[in-house]
Every structure is written in C-alpha cells, then in structure tokens.
Amino acid sequence: MKKITVMGVMLAALIFCLAVMGQEDKKEEKKREGAEYYPLEPGMAWTYSSGKAEALVILSRKEKFKERDCFVVETLSNAKIVQRQWIYIDDEGIFIAKDSKQGKETEYDPPYQIAKFPFKKGTKWNWTGKVFGKTISQTFEVKGEKTVTVPAGTFTGLEVDSLINPGGIVLKITEVFAPGVGLVYQEREVIGRKEKTKLELTKYTPPEGAEEEKKDK
C-alpha cells in the first residue's frame, strides 16, 4: 500500500513539473508573441524592387555589439554593400543598435525599436532618438491583417503604419510583414504632397535547411 502511495506521489509530482514547464513555455512564447513576422536567421535573403531599382538584403551573420548578440543585415545594390545594420531581439521587441551607410557609422541612441511585443493588431509604440547626428521621432501602430500580391507571390500578414518626422516633413510608411518571411511590401508617402514610392518583395530565400525540414514533415 505504501509503495502505491509513493508511486502516486511521484506521478503527481511529475505531472505538476510537466504542467509548470508547459506554463513556462507558454510564458516564453507570449514574451515574444509575433516574432515570426520578423524572422532573423543567418542565410536568409530578400530581393526588393522599387520599380526603378532592385536591392538584395542578406542576413549575413551574428556578431556582438556592446555585449549584445546582434544579427548583421547587409543591403546590396549593383553587387555593392550600401548599408549594414546590427539588429537584436529581446523580450521587449526588435531593435537596430547600429547602422552603417555610405561609409558612415552611427549608433542609435536609444536603440531604434522596429517591433514591439506582442506584435499583433492594436499594438502601438513610439521611438525618439538620435541617428547620424539628427533627432528623429516615429510612431507605430499594428493595424491588423492585410493580403498583398507582389512579384514574389500573395501574402497575408500584419500591416504596420508609422509616421516619421525626419526633419521638415512628415512621412507616412505602410508596411506588410508576413509570418516566416518578414517585410513583403512597403509604401512611403510624404504628407501634403503627391509623392508615393513602393517597395515590393520579388524573391525570398529561406535559411539553409528550412526547405529540407519542410520536405521531411
């Protein structure tokens, strides 16, 4: 009888531990809810077209910057690197810590928040800081689901609207992020002017091994 009681206690303890572990896993998932809309893994690549020119964006490697584990994202035009960004993720969201463009480097102060967790409909945030010696402010809002058709295909993702004041003008930016892919569409409009530019995804390369994983499933 005692053996049965001991076994019962051990089983109950095991079930309790598993339940706690499950709750912890859910907490971890909730901490970074929506992170799949900003996938970050070395080997990923995106090609975008503005109608006039194309740009290749590559997540090339991981690298430490000020004790943070960052992903280095490189933008190439005409086979030349025109920009590098050091991006990191934590439980608050996704941030750009440093930027390098046209031979000049700058550290965002504070780090530029490009996504806030949970990243879902209704989430809002704002950022004010210095970049390349200029003070800039930007507000963001996740509007909800939107389906767009671009050269790379048709995607349903989350639409994010933002307003940025880069000095003297107000720019409205509308972006659509698809889960597992990232940015698929971007539209920029100068408020008060009939000026709009579009950026569309033409090709997406998943990280190495991703296609093989899909086939195995």
- Give residue 130's pLDDT: 86
What does each C-alpha distance from 209 to 41, 46, 203 come to in angstroms? 11, 17, 18
How far apart are the C-alpha atoms of 158 and 116, rounded to whole Å?
13
Q: Amino acid identity, residue 55?
A: A
Percent of the chain with pLDDT over 90: 71
Does residue 173 contact residue 165 with C-beta atoms inside 8 Å? no
Count Cα atoms within 13 angstroms, Cβ side, for 195. 8
Q: What is the pLDDT of residues 65-85, one digit of tens each?
A: 999 999 999 999 999 999 999
Convert 121-134 to b/e letters by CB count within 10 Å (16 or more is b).
eebebebebebeee
How far apart are the C-alpha atoms of 147 and 99, rounded to whole Å?
31
Q: What is the pLDDT of residues 140-186, one digit of tens each?
A: 999 999 999 999 999 999 999 999 987 778 999 999 999 999 999 99
- What is the overall mean pLDDT for the chain? 86
- Give residue 217's pLDDT: 41
Does residue 152 contact residue 170 with C-beta atoms inside 8 Å? no
- Domain at 35-207: CATH code: 2.40.360
Model pTM score: 0.82
Q: DSSP of 7-47, one letter per residue? A: HHHHHHHHHHHHHHHHHHHHHHHHHTTTGGGS---TT-EEE
Tokens of 178: 């698809």
Beta-bridge mates of residue 63: 70
With 0-12 / 13-18 / 19 or more C-beta atoms within 10 angstroms meaning exposed / middle / buried, residue 155 is buried
Confidence tier at 7 by pLDDT (50, 70, 90): very low
Pairing of strands 54-65, 45-49: antiparallel
Beta-bridge mates of residue 60: none
Confidence tier at 28 by pLDDT (50, 70, 90): low
Percent of the chain with pLDDT over 70: 82
Helix (H, G, I), strand (E, B) or coil at 170: coil
- Give residue 176's pLDDT: 98
- Give residue 24's pLDDT: 40
